[in-house]
Amino acid sequence: MLNVPIPLGFYKAFINRLLAMTDVTCCGFAETMTGNSTSVFFRHDIDTCECIGNLQRMIDLELELTINPGVYVRVDGEDYAAHAFRDLFQDLHARGIEIGLHTSCYTKDNYFGELERERTEFTKQLGFEPRSFSVHGLGDYRKSVRHEFYCAVANRLHDFGFEFSDCHPSLREYHYTLQDCYLDTASGKRFIYDDFTFLPRPKDVQKNYLVLTHPCYWTV
């Protein structure tokens, strides 16, 4: 277990270990993999302004290692104004990085209406339409509504102009998630587990892994 922030060199070593595993495929986030290997997907949720500050550095490292992550941007304006970083997101988008919406629509009772509003806001702020979304988790806050939303939206993505999301297992099932945002409630610090050092190995093939990171928790 390691407290954040964690050196990017540690992340690089982790990815290199994955790349050296012959039965593991590191997939582009937007890809759908079928086959006999374990698939690993990389997603960055851009929760804070600090995330944006570290994003370019993290992506440069990933592209150098042939990793193609998904990047999910909030448009609620609570922690940052997405339009202020329009050039950065447009540049990453042009480089083939999946830039999608990090939605909090379930915090409103009319979550479908809010999803549409956020989609429109994203397009206005960043100058291109999001193809995909991920969901901004807020601990237990409206957790049951969040799950209701996942189930309700899973087979209606196209109705809202989206091509994919990983919010529901019917869309993409993750059998294991590595994440950098575990919270030590005693100290208030975020930490990662040793799974970044020793990837827990699946019992059989065709398992999907998600590596969920927030760039604010990584440093040079």
Among the listed residues 43, 44, 119, 136, the single contact to Zn ion using CB under 5 A: 136
Nearest one of 74, 79, 71 to 55, comparing CA atoms: 71
Using the minimum distance from each CB to Zn ion, give the nearer residue, 74 or 207.
74
3-state helix, strand, coil in the chain (%, to 5): 35, 25, 40
DSSP letter assigned to residue 185: T
Using the minimum distance from each CB to Zn ion, give the nearer residue, 38 or 104.
104
Do residues 136 and 121 touch, judged by C-beta distance below 8 A?
no
Give the C-alpha separation, 100 to 69, whole Å.
11
Stretch that binds Zn ion, among 122-130, 133-141, 167-175, 181-189 (CB under 5 A): 133-141
Judged by CB under 5 A, the number of residues near Zn ion is 3
Using the minimum distance from each CB to Zn ion, give the nearer residue, 85 or 207.
85
In angstroms, what is the minimal distance from the CB of 212 to Zn ion? Answer: 9
DSSP letter assigned to residue 150: H
Using the minimum distance from each CB to Zn ion, give the nearer residue, 49 or 205.
49
Q: Which two tokens stand for residue 42?
A: 């990389």
User: In the bound complex, which residue of the shown chain has the CB atom lying closest to Zn ion?
Assistant: 136
In angstroms, what is the minimal distance from the CB of 16 to Zn ion? Answer: 27
Nearest one of 213, 196, 170 to 57, comparing CA atoms: 213
76 in helix, strand or coil?
A: coil
In angstroms, what is the minimal distance from the CB of 45 to Zn ion? Answer: 4
Is residue 118 part of the contact set for Zn ion (CB under 5 A)?
no
Give the C-alpha separation, 33 to 206, whole Å.
9
Using the minimum distance from each CB to Zn ion, give the nearer residue, 146 or 207.
146
Stretch that binds Zn ion, among 13-21, 53-61, 132-140, 181-189 (CB under 5 A): 132-140
Give the C-alpha separation, 128 to 100, whole Å.
10
Give the DSSP H/E element, type plus range, for residue 116: helix 111-126
In angstroms, what is the minimal distance from the CB of 202 to Zn ion? Answer: 26
Using the minimum distance from each CB to Zn ion, give the nearer residue, 136 or 207.
136
Give the C-alpha separation, 38 to 88, whole Å.
32
Per-residue binding string, Zn ion, 28-67, x by CB under 5 A, is -----------------x-x--------------------
Q: Which residues bind Zn ion (CB under 5 A)?
A: 45, 47, 136
